[in-house]
């Protein structure tokens, strides 16, 4: 008897509306979340850990953690607010991922 069981991460796209990536400026960033599942024979059977949502750019392959930091603003460093929508952005962002306006 050979049983393959284990914990594997599974990436979930939370919405399929592309957002503008603050780094490359292309609308190819999506809200995603990585959940961890207990799986048997590579089939996820039970979600054991719910991940934090983040924005990941398909092109830059960089996860942007500003959403997490927006929930804990005291921990944020080097942040500034979008002049347009007031959301918290990271230093170095050229475009706001929430409203798509240049900052
Ligand atoms: Zn990008
Ligand atoms: Zn904005």
pTM of the model: 0.57
* Element containing residue 35 per DSSP (H, E): strand 29-40
Instruction: Judge whether residue 91 has pLDDT over 50.
Output: yes
Q: What is the pLDDT of residue 67?
A: 45
Quote the ligand 1 centre to 38 CA distance (angstroms). Answer: 32
Quote the ligand 1 centre to 62 CA distance (angstroms). Answer: 7
* Element containing residue 29 per DSSP (H, E): strand 29-40
Q: Are the CB atoms for 95 and 21 separated by under 8 Å? A: yes
> What are the phi and psi torsion angles at 52 (to 5°)?
-85, 140
Tens of pLDDT, residue by residue over 38-72, are: 998 888 899 999 998 888 888 888 787 654 455 55
Q: What is the pLDDT of residue 73?
A: 55
CA distance linking residue 20 with residue 103, whole number of Å? 12
Tens of pLDDT, residue by residue over 2-43, are: 568 899 899 999 988 898 888 888 999 998 999 999 998 888
CA distance linking residue 34 with residue 8, whole number of Å? 10
Quote the ligand 2 centre to 26 CA distance (angstroms). Answer: 15
Quote the ligand 1 centre to 1 CA distance (angstroms). Answer: 46
């Amino acid at each position: 008897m050979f049983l393959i069981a284990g914990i594997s991460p599974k990436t979930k796209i939370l919405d399929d509306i592309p957002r503008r990536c603050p780094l490359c400026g292309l609308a190819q960033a999506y809200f995603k979340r990585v959940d961890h599942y207990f799986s048997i024979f590579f089939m996820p059977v039970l979600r054991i850990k719910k991940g934090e949502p983040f924005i990941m750019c398909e092109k830059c392959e960089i996860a942007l953690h500003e959403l997490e930091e927006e929930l804990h603003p005291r921990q944020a460093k080097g942040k500034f607010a979008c002049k347009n929508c007031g959301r918290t952005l990271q230093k170095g962002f050229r475009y706001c991922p929430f409203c798509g306006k240049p900052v």
